[in-house]
Each structure stands twice: as structure tokens, then as C-alpha cells.
Amino acid sequence: MCQLFAQVFGKSLSVDYWQWKYRQSGGHGIGAWDGEQLVAHYGGIGVDVVLDGKLVRAVEICDVMVSPAVRNSVRKYSPFYLATSTFIDRFVGYGQEFELGFGFPNDRHLLLAERLGFYSEVGTMSELRFPKAAARFTDRFNHWQSVEADQFSHHANELDALWEQMWRSMPAAIVPSKSAAKLQYRFLQHPEHRYQVWLLRQRITGKVKAAVVLKIDPERILLMDLIGARADFTSNLRQLVNSVAQHWSQPLVFWLSTAHAERLEIAGLEIKPLHISTPANIWTKGPTAAELMNRWWLTAGDTDFL
């Protein structure tokens, strides 16, 4: 599988990365073979999501790849068709291990899956670029606190409380888990990337209002995740913009589901489409595309590649 990954994507996939992605999440992979040669792969990692106030098991589709040698045909019974249909039949839908699925396919991959009857689009992703802070002031009422990896467990209860506030304040949304255990696994145990976890804390009471995860890139500060009550998102993001400006010169960037991005009220916020779709399974019986339309709250932190 790692060899096919390198062939298709032009970069290596380490065994540590593979184990982090699939083994710890209860993920699966289906391969199509030509003799001893793996020519197609369809993978999925297990994710807990809140749907209609209940925690359900979903699958995030990833590592969908076909060897260049067998890409000429997209007809039924092609390697892509066999790997995809087998995976969904075996794992996705009512009564299966995963009730629903999602992912981050580009326009071309979505169109192919739609033509074959696997997916229907239920949302898109956008990139948000925040305006630079007009004034770099010190907030008299709140401050951001960096959480170090060796101290993370001391903040687990606070993070779990923020996560509960978040999903309860967004009853119509479908939100992948942002629990303390998930944040620790996704960000602090990542085998290759490094992230920063910050808490927004009130100065007088010490109460935590929000948590964010940042990835520091040379050209941008990528906001991977935002956790807290929905009503506080705008004010918390404004405070984050100011704090980021005090530490770095790069712009603050946030990937977010378009339907939710358009509801943020921040002056000067620039929203651009990413040409990344949110698919729904229509191959097997499960929640319908109409039931899922524009409900996913997905961020860069929900991807497997950032």
C-alpha cells in the first residue's frame, strides 16, 4: 500500500504514519489486485461524530488511489469500482460498522464517484483568510495559554467541557469529535506534523472559553480546529487574530465547511472556495443526501493529510 501511495501521490508514506492513521482509528483498507500487484486502494478511518445529538460511528474516506497503469477505464468492474463498492458494501450504512461516511475529494474524484453511483455532494470546503489585526493590544479580560504535551492531561476535563458546549450549541450540525482524547491522538501523537494547542482563559475567573489548534507553516498560520460554544465563535476568532498577529507575520487561515463559513460575521474576512467537496454515501442504505445537506462542520483538523 505504501508503494502504491508513493507511485500515485509522488511522496512517501511511512509505516508509522500508516499505523497512526489506520490502526489507532479502527480503520480499514480494501485493495484491488492484479496477480501480486496492488493496483487500487480505498481506505477509511473510523471517526466518532455527533449526529442529531447522538454519538455515531462514521468513516472518513482517504487514500483512494489507482495505479496509472489501470486508469484508462472508469467503467464498472474497473479496479477503482471494485475497491470502492466492496468497501462501502462491507462497512458503510445502517447496520454496518459505520453509519455514514465523509471525506475531502477534489472535484474530479467526486465527479467520478457520482457517475458510478457511489456519492452525492452534500457540502463544500472554503478557505477563510482573516484580516490582519488593526491594533496589537493586550486583552484585559482574556488571555491565550499554550498547552504543552506533558501537561495536556491536566486540561482534559476543560477540553471535554468545551467539546460538549460545542456540539450542544450546534444541534443541526454534524460534528466530528473534538474530545480531549481525540485532540491528543490527532495532534499531539501525530508521527510527522507538529501543532500548538491554545486555551482562551478569562483572567479573573480562570474559566476556559475556547480552545484552538494551530499549525505553523512558512506561508500561513493554519487554524486546524476551534472548540467552544457556537455563540462565541466570532468573538473568539477576533481575539485569536490579534494574538496571532503578536506572534507571527503570516496570515491566519482557516479551512471550514462553506455553509458554516458564510455565517461568521467578521469584517474583512475573505472566503474562497477550495474545490474540495463533502460527499455522502448513496450506494448503500443510510442517512440520505437530503438529510445531510450542508450540515457537516469540517475543518483542516478533520483531514488526514494536514
Pair 102, 280: CB distance under 8 Å: yes
d(CA 1, CA 232): 43
**pLDDT at res. 138:** 62
Q: Which residues contact 89 (CB under 8 A, 6 or more apart)?
A: 283, 284
List the chain domain ranges.
2-125+275-298, 133-250
> Does 2.30.30.90 match the CATH number of domain 2-125+275-298?
no
**pLDDT at res. 137:** 59
Architecture field, domain 133-250: 3-Layer(aba) Sandwich (3.40)
Q: pLDDT of the chain along its 306 residues, tens only? A: 999 999 999 999 999 999 999 987 889 999 999 999 999 999 999 999 999 999 999 999 999 999 988 876 656 789 999 999 999 999 999 999 999 999 999 998 999 999 999 999 999 999 999 988 755 556 778 899 999 989 999 999 999 999 999 999 999 999 999 999 999 999 999 999 999 999 999 988 989 999 999 999 999 999 999 999 999 999 999 999 999 998 999 999 999 999 999 888 888 899 999 999 999 999 999 999 999 999 999 999 999 999
**pLDDT at res. 214:** 98
This prediction has a pTM of 0.94
**pLDDT at res. 162:** 98
The two domains 2-125+275-298 and 133-250 share their CATH topology (first three levels equal): yes
**pLDDT at res. 141:** 84
**pLDDT at res. 239:** 92
